[in-house]
Amino acid sequence: MRTTATPPVDALEQVLGELPLPWVVTAEDLKLALRALLVHAPEQWPTGPLCRADRTAYPCLLHRWARRVLRSRGLLDEVIDGLVERGGQLLGVPDGRS
């Protein structure tokens, strides 16, 4: 499914805000972010899409964090969606070193 990040929807998240990005995004951070996108994928419910892992409104806090990590390395949403569709294969993704 094609996705775009939206503002926080959970009351607790409105208080706590978004998860902070790593100071330096490493290759390990990129792998973790991809894993988070695969685990925190949308699942269709009668009330709308929910996160498959934590059953909060999609995109959930971790999904948004993961997408921001990947965007911080210059990846466009279309590329990120393509990576997720390929099961997180990191072919052609920058290694994260600055």
Exactly one of 33, 41, 60, 70 binds Zn ion (CB under 5 A); which one? 60
Nearest distance, CB of residue 15 and Zn ion, angstroms:
18
81 binds Zn ion (CB under 5 A): no
Cβ(15)–Cβ(8) below 8 Å: no
CB atoms within 10 A of CB 19: 13
Exactly one of 3, 30, 40, 93 binds Zn ion (CB under 5 A); which one? 40
Q: What does the alpha-carbon distance between residue 37 and residue 84 come to, in Å, rounded to a whole number?
A: 7
**CA-based diameter of the chain, in Å?**
44
Q: If we measure between CA atoms, which residue out of 46, 69, 51, 35 comes closest to residue 1?
A: 51
13 binds Zn ion (CB under 5 A): no
**Site size for Zn ion, by CB under 5 A?**
6
54 binds Zn ion (CB under 5 A): yes
Of the two residues 27 and 42, which places its CB atom closer to Zn ion in the complex? 42
List contacts with Zn ion (CB under 5 A).
40, 51, 53-54, 60, 62
